């Protein structure tokens, strides 16, 4: 098990995430207004919406207050921080309904892979599916209006390569990117159905891999999605 900064120290934790490859996710309501009355309502909305396809929930809900995870009210909302083993993340939901999540790439923390600058293909597909499914669930907990904007950044990608980490698939070449940050943007009409969420996540994965010069077809991504969703 490895830790870097006590999660109670927001500044250090955020710096440790930003210093390596990481996802930055924002869910932004298109209309103004207060969607949650209390900060505890924000916490409960995330708890009800969290996705658990593969053992570790997205986003992670701290079950205890400890040296490696905590959740607490902050001005205008609720925030949770985790720094444990391969998991390093910080998220916040405000009463206006805006959600932001910083999530470190586990590939940059795991001792086996952290010096290789890789992005696991299946893991990226899983994460994108979790993000969009969480978005679908969260926007069903309150009146988010007719649409939201979903912003996903994958940062610190310069000279990073795609890699298949499972034994059932392989890439026939090295695929990398010269972009330091891959930005994915989607306006999403509400309500979002489960099948629509899977399609959005698939299209985001196709766009992400395209920035690495790699064409991975819808059937392959659908198959990877099915593998992780069938674990529930």
pLDDT tens for the chain, 232 residues long, are 444 444 558 999 999 999 999 999 999 999 999 999 999 999 999 999 999 998 899 999 998 777 788 999 999 999 999 999 999 999 999 999 999 999 999 999 999 999 999 999 999 999 999 999 999 999 999 999 999 999 999 999 999 999 988 766 667 678 999 999 999 999 999 999 999 999 999 999 999 999 999 999 999 999 999 987 766 5
Q: How far is CA 9 from the centre of its chain?
A: 21
The structure tokens listed for 199 are 């399609």
Q: Residue 172 has what pLDDT?
A: 66
Residues 42, 40: Cα–Cα separation, whole Å? 5
The pLDDT of residue 38 is 97
DSSP letter at 51? B
Q: How far apart are CA 6 and CA 133, in angstroms?
A: 29
Per-residue pLDDT at 54? 87
HSE of 88, CA atoms in CB hemisphere, 13 A: 29
| Beta-strand pair 22-29/77-84 | unpaired
pLDDT at residue 228, rounded to an integer? 78
**Would you call 77 helix, strand, or coil by DSSP?**
strand
Q: Quote the pLDDT of residue 1.
A: 42
In whole angstroms, give the CA distance from residue 98 to residue 86: 26
Choose among 156, 188, 227, 26: nearest CA to 203. Answer: 188
Torsions phi, psi of 208, nearest 5? -60, -50
Whole-number Å distance between alpha carbons of 73 and 111: 34
Q: pTM for the complete prediction?
A: 0.93
Provide the pLDDT for residue 72.
93
Q: Are 131 and 181 in contact (CB under 8 A)?
A: no
Query: In the prediction, which pLDDT does 4 show?
Result: 45
- For residue 195, the number of C-alpha atoms closer than 13 Å in the C-beta half-sphere is 0
How do 181-189 and 22-29 pair as beta strands?
Answer: unpaired
What is the per-residue pLDDT for 230?
Answer: 67
How far, in Å, CA of 49 to CA of 91, rounded?
13
* CA distance readout (Å), 176 to 117, 158, 169, 212, 214: 10, 8, 18, 5, 8
Give the dihedral of Cα atoms 4, 9, 15, 16; nearest 10 deg: 10
pLDDT of residue 100: 99
Token pair 């988010």 is found at 144
What's the confidence (pLDDT) of residue 119? 97
């Amino acid at each position: 098990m490895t830790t870097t900064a006590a999660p109670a120290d927001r500044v250090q934790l955020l710096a440790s995430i930003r210093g390596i490859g990481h996802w930055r996710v924002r869910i932004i309501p298109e209309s103004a207004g207060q969607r949650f009355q209390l900060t505890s309502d924000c916490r409960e909305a995330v708890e009800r919406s969290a996705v658990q396809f593969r053992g570790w929930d997205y986003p992670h809900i701290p079950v205890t207050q400890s040296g490696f995870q905590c959740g607490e009210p902050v001005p205008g909302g609720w925030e949770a921080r985790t720094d444990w083993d391969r998991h390093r993340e910080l998220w916040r939901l405000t009463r206006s309904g805006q959600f932001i999540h910083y999530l470190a790439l586990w590939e940059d923390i795991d001792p086996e892979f952290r010096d290789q600058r890789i992005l696991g293909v299946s893991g990226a597909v899983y994460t994108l599916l979790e993000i969009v499914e969480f978005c679908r669930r969260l926007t069903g907990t309150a009146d988010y209006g007719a649409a939201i904007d979903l912003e996903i950044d994958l940062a610190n990608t310069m000279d990073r390569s795609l890699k298949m980490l499972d034994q059932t698939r392989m890439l026939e070449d090295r695929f990398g990117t010269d972009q330091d940050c891959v930005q994915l943007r989607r306006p999403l009409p509400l309500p979002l159905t489960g099948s629509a969420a899977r399609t959005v996540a698939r299209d985001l994965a196709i766009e992400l891999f395209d920035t690495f010069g790699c064409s991975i077809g819808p059937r392959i991504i659908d198959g990877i999605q099915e593998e992780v969703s069938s674990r529930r």
